[in-house]
Structure 1
Amino acid sequence: MRRAVVVWATAYGFLRIWYATGHAPTWKLPGNDLLIPNWAAVGACLLTALAVFTTRPRLLWALAAGWIAAAGFVLLDLVAMVLPGLGIPFDVLGMLSRLGAVTGALLLGFLARAHQSRAQSWPRWISIAGGWAAFAGCLTRLGAQAVVGFDQTPYGGNLSILLFESGFVLVGTVLPFLLVHPIGHRFPRWLLLLPGYTLGAGMTAYFGVGLVQMIVNAILGRLAYGDVGLPEGFFWVAVSAYVVWGAGLTVAARGYQLGARETTDSVCDLRTTQR
């Protein structure tokens, strides 16, 4: 697995150098394909390649989370691909580039898991707090929308927006519940971990960057989110709620992962004892 991570870091690093030297395509989404500059991505690839020579799982997990966060726009790719009726620009090259970053995160995750000590524990109250934070973030976001009116959306009331809103509510209510409740361990782990980590890290990074930009604009005396016909207070509440929501999901997913692994290890130890 170490070799796979080094190969990925080398290949993706050269791709980022190619982009950084003026060869990047024109992206359909605003800004770069990642939420970090190209040269910063090159440095992150170098750091990733060096990190494989350590056996510190926390560093590897941190790097994996960083790559998923950097590819936060992949959330828009998935929504645009599944629900084209929303009108979100779909950029194939941008999605592939972001999926490249996600691939590196997965490889780092596998490597970190291989070095993970079974003795590592995760206090249950932290997972529960993460789940409640995600739930509160979702309700706060819905509350902000209720204040300005649910008709104040950039999309029409077609089937795509109805499906999106249904998934929106499920990710903010059902998913956090399953991540922290014992009933969630009856599901295949990937079914909850994949959306928990991907959506959690993606939302935290995407809206975290947006919140920083709003703060910078406010310091410079500009409108926090530009003139789009909605109150400034709406964006301060909504974007902050998304950040809390995403961070809560990430924490809850991590607790679920460790809890599920401990359950599996206990079952394996019981079977070994019975033999």
Structure 2
Amino acid sequence: MAPVWQAAYVAVHLWWVIGGAPRFFMGRESYFPGGWVPVALGVLALVAYLAAAATARGEADRATHYALAGLNAVAGGALCVYSFLFPVLLVALLFEGPGPGIVASLLATGGGAVGGVLCLRVAVDEWRRAVRSCGSCGRVHGRSPESRAERAPGWAYAGAYVALAGFAARIGVWLADTIAGRWPSGVSRANVSWSAMTVFMVLMTLAGTLLPLALAHRWGRLWPAWVVPLRGRAVPRWLVLGPGLFVGAGLTAYFGIAGNIAWIRGEFGGPALPLSLEMGGYTLWGTGLLVASAAYAALTRPPCRKPVRAHT
């Protein structure tokens, strides 16, 4: 499926290069230049996937698996970064409804995002082959956590609290603007849906406080005692990991990469301190969530089906 998907992505964008691209939402598919860029990224992803597939049935040494993991990680990461508007458009679709071109843009950016995720998945498989992880559960027994009950590593807590600090920096700017009467502006008063804004602010607060803490702390993996009907049971993995990856990737790509590049280029400006807190806060928030999500993914793997004796 993956090579067909990548080939279709390349073919569509090659067609747009030759015959002209359709009119997308906000006038473009990505913040980054179009044209041959998505074609080149798609070809790189296709080559990386086919190279990994060519060695899947044969014997390859560890160096080859490491190289294929790196190649697929670069290709997949580049496609995901190029298609970073996908979560932004998805949120816009949920809160604003379908508008002219937004569905087409969502499909185009979604195609790149799915292709990137497929490449990243291949990169993970190649990495596991390189480190000779368990074929049943993907762990490197003796080094990887064996159950949800184990304590998260220190870097997971660091990521979670960096995300919390980033949210605090961003919300501090918003509170200062609100107290000073600079938010909402006259334009936003005229166009805002207060019910949607309320839902958005509640979700934003949960994503900046509860979510990073749940990614690192034990109660985010096993229901705590005060949740009486569920105490001690496993928290559904994707209930926490899904939002962590989605919000973390969206904030990192939109603000951490595109936003900071635009700021450096002088495409927008403002008072230095509030703008630094806002852009830096979003960037730290997103990257912190991704770091904590990586630890959460490792800690919440399904139990290994092999007997303990087989691990040694």
TM-score (norm 2): 0.72
Q: Does 1:106 align with 2:117?
A: yes
How many positions carry a matched residue from both structures? 256
Structure 2 partner of 1:221: none
Cα distance in 2 for partners of 1:179, 1:158 equals 30
- The 5 Å alignment of 1:42-121 reads 42-52=39-49, 53-54=51-52, 55-56=65-66, 57-84=69-96, 91-115=102-126, 116=128, 117=133, 118-119=139-140, 121=144
Whole-Å separation in 2 of the counterparts to 1:190 and 1:25: 35
User: Hey, what's the Cα distance between the residues in 2 that align with 1:234 and 1:268?
Assistant: 52
1:37 aligns with 2:33: yes
Conserved 8 A contact 2:84-2:113: no
Q: 2:298 aligns with which of 251, 254, 258?
A: 258
Amino acid at match of 1:259: L
**Aligned partners of 1:148 and 1:234 also within 8 Å:** no
Which residue is 1:225 aligned to?
Answer: 268
Instruction: Please list, as runs of the form range in 1=range in 2, the aligned pairs for 1:1-275 lying within 5 A after superposition.
Output: 4-21=1-18, 23-29=20-26, 32-38=28-34, 39-52=36-49, 53-54=51-52, 55-56=65-66, 57-84=69-96, 91-115=102-126, 116=128, 117=133, 118-119=139-140, 121=144, 124-149=153-178, 152-153=183-184, 154=188, 156=192, 158-185=194-221, 186-207=234-255, 208-217=257-266, 225=268, 231-261=271-301, 264-265=302-303, 267-269=304-306
User: Over residues 165-184 of structure 1, what are the superposed CA-to-partner deviations in whole Å (9 max), with x where a residue is unaligned?
Assistant: 00101111111111111222
Between the aligned partners of 1:130 and 1:260, the Cα distance in structure 2 is: 17
Change (3 A) 1:111 1:80: same
Provide the identity percentage.
Answer: 28
1:234 Cα deviation after fit? 2.5
Could you state the TM-score of these two structures normalised by the residue count of structure 1? 0.81
Task: Report which stretch shifted further, 201-210 or 144-153.
Answer: 144-153
Query: Counterparts of 1:62 and 1:189 in 2: how far apart (Å)?
Result: 27
SS of aligned partner of 2:25: coil
SS at match of 1:83: helix
CA positional deviation for 1:75: 2.4
Alpha-carbon distance in structure 1 between the residues aligned to 2:209 and 2:293: 14
Instruction: Tell me how far apart the structure 2 counterparts of residues 189 and 69 of structure 1 sit (CA, whole Å).
Output: 25
Check conservation: 1:29, 1:89, Cα contact below 8 A: no
Residues 58 and 190 (structure 1), Cα distance of their counterparts in 2 relative to 1, 3 Å cut: farther
Return the alpha-carbon distance in structure 2 between the equivalents of residues 196 and 89 of structure 1. 30
Take 2:158 and 2:70, find their aligned partners in 1: how far apart are those partners?
Answer: 21
Stretches of 4+ aligned residues off by more than 6 angstroms: 87-90
Cα-Cα RMSD: 2.8
Q: Is the 8 A contact 1:77 1:90 kept in 2?
A: no
Q: Does structure 2 conserve the Cα–Cα contact (< 8 Å) formed by 1:72 and 1:203? A: no
The residue type equivalent to 1:172 in the other structure is: G
Higher relative contact order (CA 8 A, sep 6+): 1
Larger gyration radius, structure 1 or structure 2 = 2
Post-superposition CA distance 1:34-61 (Å, at most 9, x none): 2332222222112111222244445434
Distance between the aligned counterparts of 1:12 and 1:43, measured in 2?
Answer: 11
State whether residues 71 and 202 of structure 1, in contact with CA within 8 Å, keep that contact through their aligned partners in structure 2.
no
- 1:254 to 1:243, Cα distance in 2 relative to 1, 3 A: same
